[in-house]
Amino acid sequence: MTPLLSLKDLTKAYPGVVANDNVSLEIAPGEVHSLLGENGAGKSTLVKMIYGLVKPDHGEMRMHGADYAPSEPRAARAAGVGMVFQHFSLFDALTVAENIALGMENAPRLSALSDQIRKVSDTYGLPLAPDRIVGDLSAGERQRVEIIRCLLQEPKLLIMDEPTSVLTPQEVDILFETLHKLSTDGTAILYISHKLEEIRTLCDSATILRLGKVVGTCVPKETTAREMAEMMVGKVLGTPTRAGVTPGDTVLELNSLSLPSPSAFGMPLRDISVKLRAGEVLGIGGVAGNGQDELLAALSGEMLAPPGTLKMKNVDIGKLGPNARRAIGLLAAPEERLGHAAAPDMSLTENAMLTGAAREGLENRGFLNWPAARGFAEKIIETFDVRTPGPGNAARSLSGGNLQKFVIGREVLQRPEILVVNQPTWGVDASAAAAIRQALLDLAEAGAAVIVISQDLDELMEISDRFAALNEGRLSDPRSTDGLTVEQIGLMMGGAHGMEVAHV
């Protein structure tokens, strides 16, 4: 049988790096094929070539045996290739129907399109109101917009780039039902993810990429997650460990904290109460956009809290700004690396100075001690294995994972009493992620209290003592992670947000 799509010896080089090096793979109609690899392995470049966003340097693509060389996404869509992006390519200020119309070649009138949207969303169990403004939708709902946009074109191949990173476990189940139904109908799916258990449930076959090269293929249902992970990184992985520590006194106390969100499309914090003890790791899960950024801002001091709602060691710190909180040992590392955690165009030394000045004694009566700051930056680079030519390089020049190591390392090395991190291993490869988690655990073992906000449930289960979930700005009661099941976590995260299983 002719494969739907076959790639042969595709190569694409960027200045300084070969993103894809003689990559070949085949996808049959109706097959769910997984593309595995760490960040920077070349998965995104490969699918961008299939979708016509990037032109290969050489190599050939064939669709149904005929030459296939899309010069632009339009051509790819016409050939029956649809793509759901990792970072949603949606327009916040436009309605669902308008967003979908933009992704279609010959969009019908908006009223007719709205009817089609209702029909497709009904068929595949993806409820969606066509006239809602996308900026008001949850992450899961936004993804439905993207999926429906693709489905309306009746694609033969659907590319999905990290589709589940923003979904609750229940939403993931429903997405998989939809994908199963599509694949039974004959649509091939190219599925990119680094969540291995998902791939084992969903995919028929997998191609593994490392540093731009195909390093192997496997049948995920017959391979263990650990084997696949080791094929991805090319070495044996260690699991973070910690000695059991009895938590100490309460160091941080939130008492019915409610705060409005600073941004128009944000989520206000609602009545958050929690106590944090020295030496413990509190994991906070939840789907993105449920108040994570706001909670971090409230703890770091970017947003001030009303009197009595935020206490550190029984002292009210609600009115203290970020620098004052840093001085007394409450440190934070936000999610957005470029522009929030680090100033993109400043050097690593300058970035080390920015948060480390007070606690590391890098300034003296307003004068900056640059040699000490450089030493501090070098210490971070060495301790956390940040790959960069030196501390004089701009933060922007680092890859996402390396910058993440720097940003987390910078806070960890300041000996915090309380550390709050948001998405500490987002976009970081498996071995670096393990190192970051280990550093957080070591910190807790040394007696600091750590709050880890993350969307990676496996990560939270691995390192936290207690788990709580954010849902619509409310924090659930923390529960011990011992014996907590995925179903219970899903319910804590607010269930499936009105999703239903495909009913056709």
Partner 1 sequence: MDLSVINPILLFAALMSAATPILFAATGELIVERAGVLNLGVEGMMIVGAICGFAIAVETGSPIVGFLAAAAGGALLSLLFAFLTQITLANQVASGLALTLFGLGLSALLGQGYVGIKPPRLPDVNFGFLADIPLIGPIVFSHDPILYVGLILVAAVWATLKFTRAGLILRAVGENHDAAHALGYKVVRIRTLAIMFGGACAGMGGAYISLIRVPQWTEGMTAGVGWIALALVVFASWKPWRVLLGAYLFGGITQLQLNLQGAGVAIPVEYLAMSPYLITIVVLVILSADKSAAPGSLGRTFHASS
Q: Is residue 72 within the footprint of partner 1 (CB under 8 A)?
A: yes
Closer Cβ to partner 1, 28 or 107, answer by number = 107
Among residues 223, 293, 298, 285, the alpha carbon closest in space to that of 259 is found at: 298
Q: Which of these ranges, 61-69, 99-107, 290-298, 320-328, lies near partner 1 under the rule CB under 8 A? A: 99-107
Q: Is residue 107 within the footprint of partner 1 (CB under 8 A)?
A: yes
Q: What own/partner pairs with CB < 8 Å and gap ≥ 24 does 388-393 have?
A: 388/348, 391/347, 391/348, 391/349, 391/352, 392/347, 392/348, 392/349, 393/347, 393/348
User: Where do we find the tokens 């799509």?
Assistant: 5
Q: Is residue 74 within the footprint of partner 1 (CB under 8 A)?
A: yes
**Closest separation between CB of residue 234 and partner 1, Å?**
29
**Closest separation between CB of residue 74 and partner 1, Å?**
5
Q: Is residue 237 within the footprint of partner 1 (CB under 8 A)?
A: no
CB atoms within 10 A of CB 57: 14
Contact with partner 1 (CB under 8 A) among 88, 129, 225, 247: 88
Burial 318-340 (b: 16+ CB within 10 A, else e): bebebeebbeebbbbbbbebeeb
Contact with partner 1 (CB under 8 A) among 13, 18, 53, 129: 53
Q: Which of these ranges, 95-103, 293-301, 305-313, 387-395, lies near partner 1 under the rule CB under 8 A? A: 95-103
Maximum distance among all Cα pairs of the chain, rounded to whole angstroms:
76
Q: Is residue 102 within the footprint of partner 1 (CB under 8 A)?
A: yes
Q: How far apart are CA 336 and CA 348, in angstroms?
A: 16
Q: Is residue 336 within the footprint of partner 1 (CB under 8 A)?
A: no
Q: How far apart are CA 8 and CA 46, in angstroms?
A: 12
Among residues 181, 101, 81, 99, the alpha carbon closest in space to that of 141 is found at: 99
Closer Cβ to partner 1, 86 or 205, answer by number = 86
Closer Cβ to partner 1, 73 or 306, answer by number = 73
Q: Is residue 82 within the footprint of partner 1 (CB under 8 A)?
A: no
Q: CA–CA distance from 249 to each of 275, 313, 415, 449 (Å)?
A: 10, 9, 18, 10
Q: Is residue 227 within the footprint of partner 1 (CB under 8 A)?
A: no
Q: CA–CA distance from 72 to each of 50, 168, 252 (Å)?
A: 10, 34, 53
Cα-Cα-Cα-Cα dihedral sign, residues 91, 97, 100, 104: negative
Contact with partner 1 (CB under 8 A) among 28, 61, 94, 288: 94
**Closest separation between CB of residue 437 and partner 1, Å?**
30
x/- letters, 111..150, toward partner 1 (CB under 8 A): ------------------------x---------------
Q: Is residue 358 within the footprint of partner 1 (CB under 8 A)?
A: no
Q: Is residue 92 within the footprint of partner 1 (CB under 8 A)?
A: yes
> Which helix (H) or strand (E) covers residue 176, if one does?
helix 169-184
* Sequence-ordered strand ranges (E) for 391-435: 418-422
Q: Which of these ranges, 98-106, 277-285, 410-418, 470-478, lies near partner 1 under the rule CB under 8 A? A: 98-106
Q: Is residue 89 within the footprint of partner 1 (CB under 8 A)?
A: yes
Q: Is residue 93 within the footprint of partner 1 (CB under 8 A)?
A: yes
Contact with partner 1 (CB under 8 A) among 103, 279, 289, 416: 103
The DSSP-derived string for 444-455 is: HHTT-EEEEE-S
**Closest separation between CB of residue 4 and partner 1, Å?**
22
**Closest separation between CB of residue 442 and partner 1, Å?**
36
Closer Cβ to partner 1, 103 or 478, answer by number = 103
**Closest separation between CB of residue 305 and partner 1, Å?**
25
Q: How far apart are CA 6 and CA 324, in angstroms?
A: 59
Q: Is residue 55 within the footprint of partner 1 (CB under 8 A)?
A: no
Using alpha carbons only, what angle is made at residue 199 by residues 42 and 185, rounded to the nearest 5 degrees?
Answer: 100
Phi then psi dihedrals of residue 298, to 5 deg: -70, -35
Q: Is residue 73 within the footprint of partner 1 (CB under 8 A)?
A: yes
Contact with partner 1 (CB under 8 A) among 85, 288, 363, 445: 85
Q: Is residue 17 within the footprint of partner 1 (CB under 8 A)?
A: no
Q: Is residue 56 within the footprint of partner 1 (CB under 8 A)?
A: no
Q: How far apart are CA 434 and CA 451, in angstroms?
A: 17
Cα-Cα-Cα-Cα dihedral sign, residues 2, 3, 5, 6: negative
- The type of residue at 354 is L
Q: For the segment 249-268, give every residue that binds partner 1 (CB under 8 A).
A: 264
- The type of residue at 70 is P
The DSSP-derived string for 313-345 is: TTEE-TT--HHHHHHTTEEEE-S-TBTTTB-TT
Q: Is residue 13 within the footprint of partner 1 (CB under 8 A)?
A: no
Closer Cβ to partner 1, 24 or 89, answer by number = 89
Per CB under 8 A, residues contacting partner 1 are 52-53, 72-74, 77, 85, 88-94, 98, 101-103, 107, 135, 264
